[in-house]
Structure 1
Amino acid sequence: MAEERKGAVTMRGNPMTLVGPEIKVGQKAPNFTVVGKGMAPATLDQFKGKVKIITTVPSLDTPVCDAETRRFNVEASNLPGDVQILSVSMDLPFAQARWCGAAGVDKITTLSDWRSASFGTSYGALIKELHLLARAVFVVDKNDNVTYVEYVKEVAEQPNYEAALAAANKAAAA
């Protein structure tokens, strides 16, 4: 049974339980298996040698997630070429592709955790009560070490973009 962290985040003020371990700076990034474009499996290993900004959002079809993902897409243009932004949600890959097309989002990779919640349970970001991912940001360096973590306490609020981008730029320069 996976570890559970009751009240780790709130959704519109209501305490929620996160399933999985709390990821800490300095640890190895856990591997995961999610679903990418064309229903192909995707794992952490596919992004080896790159700095990864991994964002988790409940659903791209909600206003805060929409705004966050659009913002990271814009910021991607200012990041070094070896930085890859991954956005993981429970949205089906078809819905992610439709959303990206409609939003003009083309600089980030969307990944779906709907099949097994592998990412959510490995990174402690699965909201037990909703079977959605909490809002979180992880920066993982080229050697797959975690260099930055933010679990956004209130899921309806946006993450600290500046801190995440600074951590990614620092990891890319290392």
Structure 2
Amino acid sequence: MSQERTNVATFKGNPLTLIGPELKAGDQAPAFQLQKNLLETSTLQDYAGKVKLISVVPSIDTGVCDMQTRRFNEEAGKLGEGVVILTVSADLPFAQARWCGAAGVENVVMLSDYKDNSFGKSYGVLIKEFQLDMRSIFVLDANDKITYVEVLKEMTEHPDYDAAIAAVKALI
């Protein structure tokens, strides 16, 4: 059974339970398999040798998630070929694709954790109460070592964009 962590996150002040380990800078990033679409999967290995910023959002169709993804899409265009920004949510790949088309988002890779929430469980950000992934940021170096982690304490707040981008820039 997966580890459950309480008193670490809230939604509008109400406590949430996160499932999985608390990852920290210095940890090796867990492998993952996420859906690019219904038929195609993507793994951590697909981005080997690149610096990775993983932007985790509960649902792309909410205001903060929308703004977070747009902001990292904008930043992605400035960071060069050695960096990839992955946006992970439990939204269906159809919803992710529709949103990207409507928003004109082309610089981030959208990946879905809808099938079994395995990303959320292995990265310690699965919200037990909602079966969504908690808003969080993970920066991984080219060897998949975690160098920066921010798991938001309140689901409705924005991450520290500047600190996340600075963590990426420190690796390139």
Q: TM-score range by the shorter chain?
A: over 0.9
The aligned counterpart of 1:57 is 57
Compute the displacement of 1:39 (Å).
2.9
Q: Does 1:21 align with 2:21?
A: yes
SS of 1:78 mapped into structure 2: helix
CA–CA distance in 2 between the matches of 1:38 and 1:131? 19
Q: Does 1:126 align with 2:126?
A: yes
The aligned counterpart of 2:152 is 152
The aligned counterpart of 2:104 is 104
Cα pair 1:17 1:128 within 8 Å, conserved: yes
The aligned counterpart of 2:168 is 168
Q: TM-score, normalised by structure 2?
A: 0.98
CA–CA distance in 1 between the matches of 2:107 and 2:141? 19
Unmatched 5+ stretches in structure 2: none
Deviations 1:61-91 (A, max 9, x none): 0010001100110111221321100000000
Cα pair 1:20 1:125 within 8 Å, conserved: yes
CA–CA distance in 2 between the matches of 1:158 and 1:150? 11
SS of 1:119 mapped into structure 2: helix
CA–CA distance in 2 between the matches of 1:49 and 1:38? 26
Cα pair 1:80 1:169 within 8 Å, conserved: no
The aligned counterpart of 1:46 is 46
Deviations 1:28-79 (A, max 9, x none): 0000111013531111011100000001101000010001100110111221
CA–CA distance in 1 between the matches of 2:126 and 2:52? 20
SS of 1:2 mapped into structure 2: coil
Cα pair 1:39 1:93 within 8 Å, conserved: no
The aligned counterpart of 1:67 is 67
Compute the displacement of 1:94 (Å).
0.7
Compute the displacement of 1:8 (Å).
1.3
Structure 1 segments of 4+ aligned residues over 4 angstroms from their partners? none
Unmatched 5+ stretches in structure 1: none
Q: TM-score, normalised by structure 1?
A: 0.97
CA–CA distance in 2 between the matches of 1:114 and 1:48? 23
